Amino acid sequence: MTPRTVLEALTRSPLGFLRTGWPWRALGYLLSGGVFATAAYLGAAGLLAASSFGTLTGGLCAVAVIVFAAALAGPLERRRLPLVDRGDSVGARPEPRGGPRAAGTRTKPRDGLRAAGYGAVSVLAVGWMDLAVVLVSLGIPGFLLLTPLQPTAAPWQGVAGTVAGALLLPVAAYPIGAWAGVRAAVTRAVLFPRDRELRDVVRSRARLVDAFEAERRRIERDLHDGAQQRLVALTVKLGLAALDLPPGSTAAKEVGEAHALAKEALTELRELIRGIHPQILTERGLPAAVRDIAGRCPVTADLDLDLPGRLPAFAEQTAYFVTAEALTNIARHSGAGRCRVTVRRDDGVLRLDIEDDGRGGADPARGTGLTGLADRIAAADGRMLLSSPPGGPTLLRAEIPCGRPSAS
């Protein structure tokens, strides 16, 4: 899963940070703010120094340039924030029903004042800090790389300076990325204060999911230890009673039918328990649970499972129920003759691909359970991707954060 912010990319995989485009995006983010502030001050200084203007007129024009730049800086901060922060609410707000001209959709004055104030701070002070961080971070390795061009440098100094500069150049990406991440976090907190409410909603949804899973486990345990054991005892007693009755008698026939019904009820209860929380998932992990699902699927399923070690419980549970629901949809709606389930763990993300050769055209709006799958995956802070053109094939991909696997 692609990190959503430059700080997330730095903390998740410091070495991988250099292999992605985040350093360049962070550099562009800081330079855009620094160059804009510099251009505003150069324009103001040029107006003050122009001989064709009077002192008072030049000063007023210079102040007007700074004020105009501060007014533009707020919208500019919103536009350039996606360079280093790809949060869902960055860059645009969803339009209400009725389109952009619906009644009651005017921007709140408080939002405009907040953006203008932050723009003024950005132009007057923070933009210079952005430029200073870039110049200091890149200036040291750049100076060392230019050592061979200095006339007083000895040959060995030129070689050593070039090597040291080349080694320090990747290191410069880290302070640039860190400062860009901090700047983006402050910008989001000031310009998008509703995101805090959104994070609270996400955390609340995660707590609800955890409570729901705990309740599922409790129900599964009560059914397994209570009702299932009573049904097993009833089945045994009915079997023993049938042996004591005369063969062919009415009582033996009635007891035999009751015995068969008790067996069917026990089978259905076991299937229900397996659907609530499969014991095999807890005891043997996701690969064994997926094999169990595939073995009971009417459509032939090819499996490609590569999971070194156990994963966090929430990731295994989400992947299990997504697989179960997807294979059920394939059997009921796709008309496929074969499907394939691929499970991989890559860079802290569990990637689950389920593909079938059916008719395609899967649409979440038609009530095939895809919306529920997307909600379950989103509750685990993951995402679902679906490709299902008419005529097939259909590919459903779930990406679920799972961290480091355990050795057990």
Q: Render each residue's pLDDT in the chain as its tens digit; 408 residues.
A: 456 777 777 777 777 777 777 888 888 888 888 888 888 878 877 777 765 656 777 677 777 877 777 778 777 887 888 888 765 444 433 333 333 333 333 344 456 677 777 777 877 778 888 888 888 888 888 888 888 887 777 888 778 888 888 888 888 888 888 888 888 888 887 777 655 555 555 565 666 666 656 666 666 666 666 777 787 888 888 888 888 788 878 888 888 888 888 888 877 776 666 656 667 777 788 888 889 888 888 888 899 888 887 888 888 888 888 888 888 888 888 888 889 999 998 878 889 999 998 888 877 766 556 777 887 788 777 888 888 888 878 899 989 888 655 544
Q: What element of type H or E holds 354?
A: strand 349-356
On whether the CB atoms of residues 385 and 347 are closer than 8 A, the answer is no
Structure tokens at 329: 């949809």
Helix (H) or strand (E) holding 301: strand 300-306
Q: What span, in angstroms and rounded, lies between the C-alpha atoms of 281 and 69?
A: 59
- Orientation of helix 109-121 relative to helix 55-80, angle to 10°: 110
CB 16 within 8 A of CB 33: no
Beta pairing, strands 338-346 & 300-306 = parallel
In this prediction the pTM is: 0.45
User: Cβ(34)–Cβ(18) under 8 Å?
Assistant: no
Which residues are CB-contacts of 406 (< 8 A; sequence separation ≥ 6)? 309, 310, 311
> Residue 106 carries which side chain, given as an amino acid letter?
R
Q: Order the strands of the 338-346 sheet from edge to edge.
A: 300-306, 338-346, 349-356, 394-401, 383-387
Q: Which residues are within 8 A (CB) of 361 and not within 5 positions of it... i.e. 6 or more apart?
A: 388, 389, 390, 391
Q: What tokens appear for 397 in the block?
A: 């991909």
CB-count burial class (<10 Å; 0-12, 13-18, 19+) for 404: exposed
CA 406 to chain centroid, in Å, comes to: 21
Give the pairing type, strands 383-387 and 394-401: antiparallel
DSSP characters over 81-122: GGGTB--TTSS--PPPTT-TT-TT-PPPHHHHHHHHHHHHHI
Name the CA dihedral angle for 329, 333, 339, 345, rounded to a multiple of 10 degrees: -30
- List alpha helices for 223-312, DSSP H: 228-244, 250-276, 279-284, 286-296
Residue 230: the pLDDT is 80
Letter for the amino acid at 81? Answer: L
49 CB burial (10 A radius; 0-12, 13-18, 19+):
exposed
CA distance to 44, 146, 232, 257, 336, per residue, from 265 (Å): 84, 82, 10, 12, 31
DSSP 246: P
Distance CA 72, CA 84 (A): 20
SS3 137: helix
